[in-house]
Structure 1
């Protein structure tokens, strides 16, 4: 096995060139087998095997720097840098991260997890290199899907001024998570299909292999050659040297292009054509499904564990379709996440009212504001961690104008295996700071349905946040109508009052059961609204409770608990207030249950803290 010879950084350079295709196949087999057990980002990594091999054979890591945009396509990079043994615990608690992490290896120079930032980071490293008088190579690898993000163009505009080497690799597979859309996708498609240019260029390079001087003599006619065969030449017109398109699965040719690119004393882009899911038929046919795959059967690609209950995303999908049928003003917006957020059915049923704007959350929010200003009722479905990118647009373009945009915030709370960059634990805090924003969180699947229907009728911005995965089906007998700013009492007793929001209501039921077994009376309120808060009910209920506990799957700093504490402090409450939530820190990868246990947010840990707090209050009284 050639892969047995790869145990540390640089070992791949010892492999004979003729054996590289066999090594690439071994790496694909390794990934397919390992991820069938652990799950992970399969399709994107199968597409970048040869590209990664070429970079590692040409570059000198860790001296040279590779910045992976988004970062989920770095698995081959991890294999080549001595981490293949860690794939048995990929994305598991305490195990190997699914993204680049500086704390894991000195060959990971920049932590990434979101999109469109690699060129900016790379440009910064180039400037740091030059200012320090060093001579390493910087390579930013960005996908065509990430080029739909405006930040990439801001960086390209800045990079055009460079008079020093900076390599940008455009990994073009016509995909982000879902199929890439928009003008850039069409532009790159024209380049991809310029067969005359692609084939002729490959022939020329093959015949001139090793004859650097000859290649240099024809370089001055290259721009006119490309202008003839390739429409637009956007990157050259920006001032960035363009090399390509290059077959992203021809490792030998990729090595040649990288060596050529290192000679250019300015920003240079290598346009690489790859196939997402390369080498594994199920992933080639269904790249979106295998973007972030759950464990699967290798022979068929079918998920190993079939979900039997509805997820929150399924509930959202059904309700959106029903609202679309009843109200012709309801529109749906996604930032390249139609499948993940549950909008695929809405897209099929109402294509004229469905908008995939690509990986561009800032644009998505202002676009939604424009729709709302024009009389429509837009619903922007977005993962919590990605909505952070549009903070300014939510304030300036939506809240300031009091526009009725609905934010359906998916993957809120602890999402698990993707780790720090993807935990949705900040939305309650940053949204609460925005004047005019209404914020809700459902306790179960029926409440999500009711809240969505309520939200599209409001004349103000509304955010509804809900977790990933299985929709809670408990508390079926509690379904009071949703009223603006009104909480829902579940159990009303004395002594301890638990005020829980959203997904924490389920945990609060378990906590209450533990406390009751200790002989302590316990009330439970489903807060429903973070903003406006049901202050009237909280103040009234506080009179009969010596301890008030808040529960939220959000950071405590600026979150729901702080709002409750401020309300009760202002009302002169004299008992104890215990805020339970996520501390002021980033949370690593692992299953939600493991992470809750680590953070002390599992039912047993929370019950222990509440009992301790109650006893201390009794001693004080």
Structure 2
């Protein structure tokens, strides 16, 4: 925790309009105070730190130069937007970041007019900004579309698809490339700043426009030759040839922490008739906070921390995180099978594959933020006899659904999908919740879809994936730590499509998929205490279903309840379809399906989210009792949503 810093100048800024009243000479002080406030706020709440500190000066400069919110500013990913939120009227709530009822950790349209486009996944900003720019053109409004995109997000194909379509936006579109990994350009100094200011100046652009008009009058060939010569000469001096080829006027690279460089260049770009324009700024993650500068990876996303020492709060010791259980299990499997390889889309530590990368670097592939490529790359590996594991968060796998269908499922290729962050994810909210993977995978022919109820089951399921060569297979598991069960010394290959019964009763059957199993067992204890003998089954598989087990449970119990950490269309829908197709509906069964509600849930602690969703033990008991109270004619219906 930290005390609130003294910020006398920042205290006078309640909106960008206030910021624009300040003299340029005071912007350095404002940036320093904004950085201190950001560090203090994240020290209190936890969240994304390094990325936000890297864009403090850029945030100040953009809001100072451009007429936001009339000019529509889109932050790619949005995890660097905390300084932006402080400057746009949300400072009084900044210490509620990522909390229930508080500010989102990303940009969010419903939160502020200064967040014109919600973003928590990468590489969407240029496309959206083109939309804003063209809409303003068509409606006669003056505003520009401004996209701030990091160099990491430029690894995704969507960014290039957008740039290829950017010419229509003309000078209404400005893309600011925030190069914070030095992956495109080295640190820059006075010469490059001078060149950037020169080539973005109205004098240079005016002469350039005049030269174009003159050469165009001479002949098309002379005009094209002169244009290429100018682009080549400028590219040699400043870089940016790739962006020029995509139709952008390139300016940069410039020091993204030097306001004396940023302000005049952005003013030139704002007033330019040329367009679309790409401004390349070089920044440093964690800038201005020594612990974050020294270890950017550890300070990308942080727990609450002490501002003076940088020491982050540590969770009390407990069971291992699911991602680490998966990573260890995959390393163990790979030790016995050199066909096993692992693919991630820019999330090696988040998926637990950092362990695999250290053990088997030649079989590890981080393809960048390119989920579509990751899936089809895995399909190619599988077609050539390898055993690829494609480890991608549930919410990010959505971006590669066509590849899952077309390149994997239709060809029945044995790609193994390790689907992390399945279910609700707490502080990251709706954008990162893994709500839909069972629904969108279990509808596909040839797929096997498993859900781990605990960390021991995840070990077995990882091994089962490794041994499954007859088609695509997926295992889903949640964010966070396991339940504390002992991990198996030797993994077991599970029989495909077979569930297990953990306790037997006679009146109520609870059919669970995934980690709601612990709540199902709690509910069974409560129901037994009320004299309602309860069976609890862990189905393990959403596809193929254990039809024999399900038919047995449905025909021998008065009430059956399915529960899962997914949206409608998942396990419950498949069980109802089975009951309908086999004529069990006509037998007077009482079936209730419990699943995530038909809404996007905001951030909160996971336990509170699941209680709100009606997927805890109390809700299971309530659902059963309500069904028994209405035990009349045969009814098949969905339970609480």
TM-score range, shorter chain: over 0.9
In the alignment, structure 1 residue 142 sits paired with structure 2 residue 149 = yes
1:489 paired residue among 501, 511, 515: 501
In the alignment, structure 1 residue 19 sits paired with structure 2 residue 26 = yes
Cα distance between partner residues in 2 of 1:480 and 1:204: 64
Superposition pairs of residues 268-307 of structure 1, within 5 angstroms: 268-307=277-316
Give the CA deviation at 1:213: 3.5
Cα distance between partner residues in 1 of 2:242 and 2:494: 51
Cα distance between partner residues in 1 of 2:239 and 2:280: 14
| Residue in structure 2 matched with residue 537 of structure 1 by the alignment | 549
2:402 paired residue among 392, 406, 420: 392
Whether the 8 Å contact between 1:486 and 1:528 is mirrored in structure 2 is: yes
Whether the 8 Å contact between 1:443 and 1:472 is mirrored in structure 2 is: no
Whether the 8 Å contact between 2:196 and 2:254 is mirrored in structure 1 is: no
Cα distance between partner residues in 1 of 2:427 and 2:599: 17
Give the direction of change, closer, same or farther, for the CA distance of 1:62–1:230 in structure 2 (3 Å limit): closer
Whether the 8 Å contact between 2:555 and 2:589 is mirrored in structure 1 is: no
| Residue in structure 2 matched with residue 132 of structure 1 by the alignment | 139
- What is the TM-score with the length of structure 2 in the denominator? 0.90
Cα distance between partner residues in 1 of 2:544 and 2:196: 65
Secondary structure at the aligned position of 2:20 is classed as helix
| Residue in structure 1 matched with residue 175 of structure 2 by the alignment | 168
| Residue in structure 1 matched with residue 364 of structure 2 by the alignment | 354
Give the direction of change, closer, same or farther, for the CA distance of 1:231–1:74 in structure 2 (3 Å limit): closer
| Residue in structure 1 matched with residue 385 of structure 2 by the alignment | 375
Cα distance between partner residues in 2 of 1:106 and 1:378: 44
| Residue in structure 1 matched with residue 100 of structure 2 by the alignment | 93
In the alignment, structure 1 residue 201 sits paired with structure 2 residue 213 = no
| Residue in structure 1 matched with residue 249 of structure 2 by the alignment | 241
Give the direction of change, closer, same or farther, for the CA distance of 1:280–1:254 in structure 2 (3 Å limit): same
Give the CA deviation at 1:8: 2.7
Cα distance between partner residues in 2 of 1:336 and 1:481: 30
Whether the 8 Å contact between 1:487 and 1:534 is mirrored in structure 2 is: yes
Cα distance between partner residues in 2 of 1:210 and 1:488: 68
Pairwise CA RMSD of aligned residues? 2.3
| Residue in structure 2 matched with residue 179 of structure 1 by the alignment | none
Whether the 8 Å contact between 1:495 and 1:547 is mirrored in structure 2 is: yes
| Residue in structure 1 matched with residue 581 of structure 2 by the alignment | 570
Whether the 8 Å contact between 2:463 and 2:492 is mirrored in structure 1 is: no
Q: Which runs of 4+ in 1 moved over 6 A?
A: 208-211, 218-222, 618-621
Residue-by-residue CA offset, 1:116-159 (whole Å, 9 max, x unaligned) = 11111111111111111111121011110010000111111111
| Residue in structure 1 matched with residue 615 of structure 2 by the alignment | 601
Whether the 8 Å contact between 1:54 and 1:252 is mirrored in structure 2 is: no
Whether the 8 Å contact between 1:414 and 1:553 is mirrored in structure 2 is: yes
Unaligned runs of 5+ in 1: 176-184
Give the CA deviation at 1:258: 1.4
In the alignment, structure 1 residue 65 sits paired with structure 2 residue 72 = yes
Cα distance between partner residues in 2 of 1:351 and 1:601: 41
| Structure 1 range deviating more: 608-617 or 490-499 | 608-617
Unaligned runs of 5+ in 2: 1-7, 212-228, 636-641
2:468 paired residue among 458, 469, 476: 458
2:603 paired residue among 589, 608, 612: 589
- What is the TM-score with the length of structure 1 in the denominator? 0.93
Give the direction of change, closer, same or farther, for the CA distance of 1:264–1:563 in structure 2 (3 Å limit): same
Residue-by-residue CA offset, 1:155-185 (whole Å, 9 max, x unaligned) = 111114544431001011128xxxxxxxxx4
Cα distance between partner residues in 2 of 1:201 and 1:217: 20
Superposition pairs of residues 250-261 of structure 1, within 5 angstroms: 250-261=258-269
Give the CA deviation at 1:565: 1.3
Whether the 8 Å contact between 2:201 and 2:268 is mirrored in structure 1 is: no
Cα distance between partner residues in 1 of 2:26 and 2:200: 20
Secondary structure at the aligned position of 2:433 is classed as coil
Whether the 8 Å contact between 2:253 and 2:282 is mirrored in structure 1 is: yes
Secondary structure at the aligned position of 2:302 is classed as coil
| Residue in structure 2 matched with residue 180 of structure 1 by the alignment | none
Cα distance between partner residues in 2 of 1:393 and 1:319: 26
Whether the 8 Å contact between 1:575 and 1:617 is mirrored in structure 2 is: no
Secondary structure at the aligned position of 2:599 is classed as coil
| Residue in structure 1 matched with residue 87 of structure 2 by the alignment | 80
Give the CA deviation at 1:615: 2.6
Cα distance between partner residues in 2 of 1:492 and 1:620: 24
Whether the 8 Å contact between 1:39 and 1:292 is mirrored in structure 2 is: yes
Cα distance between partner residues in 2 of 1:218 and 1:157: 23
Cα distance between partner residues in 1 of 2:487 and 2:79: 39
Cα distance between partner residues in 2 of 1:374 and 1:620: 52
1:192 paired residue among 186, 195, 215: 186
Cα distance between partner residues in 2 of 1:264 and 1:513: 72
